[in-house]
């Protein structure tokens, strides 16, 4: 596919100019792009940014779990542990990174400052970046990766209060411009005494039925998109009917 096809695909997926987009992705999608340029991921990012326009915002996860093992988090230098897709975007010019020591995001666009003000004292709870996204009615997309990649699911689980996860506090330091800031953040972790595995089939089918999820071709890959507030409401509704609606019940 040609880079010029990307904007058409974004439009078909329900993404509009001026939207806020939380994007999960896999570097393999770069193989779909026909171009002589070496960095095809950068071509994709530039097309998305251009499509969203001056009022749009893009957030890409740059998660780092080393903080859970007593390692410091350096906002500028700590690499994303989510692979080439994430790290390539983090290193682009004019990208800002949130200071959450575990669930950081690389951000570009109009609402960067809004998301940079999200709480770093919680991973998925009140005033987390995920709650900010829900209030902003931002979109969530999976580009070349599974719907299961959507971390926002844990915000739904914590908001509902599922019994297979619990709050665990992690402490450490954030490093930025030669300054060290001690921080403690609450992480809604899964209970390791239970073999819990996500199962989002019910949620996926529900969103499709309600026409709140778009799935379109992106070369030989897929682009899956939903809206965060619709996703949240659907998840809570399913959990009210069955508190294990988002996992494999047989694992408990």
Q: What is the pLDDT of residue 193?
A: 77
Q: What is the pLDDT of residue 251?
A: 53
Provide the pLDDT for residue 206: 97
Count of C-beta atoms within a 10 Å radius of residue 222? 17
For position 250, what pLDDT does the model report? 56
Q: What is the pLDDT of residue 227?
A: 98
The mean pLDDT values, 10 residues at a time, for the chain of 252 residues are 93 97 96 87 96 98 95 96 97 97 98 98 98 98 96 98 96 92 96 86 96 95 97 98 88 52
Report how many domains make up the chain: 1
pLDDT of amino acid 222: 96
Write out the residue range of the structural domain in which residue 123 sits.
5-251
């Amino acid at each position: 596919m040609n880079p010029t096809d990307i904007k058409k695909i974004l439009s078909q997926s329900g993404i509009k100019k001026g939207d806020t987009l939380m994007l999960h992705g896999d570097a393999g999608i770069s193989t779909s792009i026909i171009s002589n340029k070496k960095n095809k991921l950068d071509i994709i990012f530039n097309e998305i940014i251009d499509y969203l326009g001056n009022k749009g915002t893009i957030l890409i996860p740059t998660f780092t779990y080393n903080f859970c093992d007593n390692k410091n988090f350096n906002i500028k230098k700590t690499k994303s542990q989510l692979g080439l897709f994430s790290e390539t975007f983090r290193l682009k010019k004019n990208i800002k990174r949130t200071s959450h020591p575990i669930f950081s995001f690389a951000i570009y666009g109009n609402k960067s400052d809004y998301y940079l003000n999200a709480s770093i004292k919680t991973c998925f709870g009140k005033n987390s970046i995920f709650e900010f996204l829900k209030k902003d009615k931002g979109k969530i997309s999976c580009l070349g990766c599974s719907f299961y990649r959507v971390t926002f699911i844990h915000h739904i689980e914590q908001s509902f209060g599922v019994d297979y996860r619990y709050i665990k506090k992690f402490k450490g330091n954030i490093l930025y411009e030669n300054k060290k800031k001690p921080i403690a953040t609450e992480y809604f972790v899964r209970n390791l005494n239970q073999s819990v595995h996500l199962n989002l089939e019910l949620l996926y089918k529900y969103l499709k039925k309600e026409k709140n999820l778009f799935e379109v071709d992106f070369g030989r890959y897929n682009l899956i998109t939903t809206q965060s507030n619709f996703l949240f409401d659907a998840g809570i509704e399913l959990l009210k009917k069955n508190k294990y609606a988002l996992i494999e019940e047989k694992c408990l």
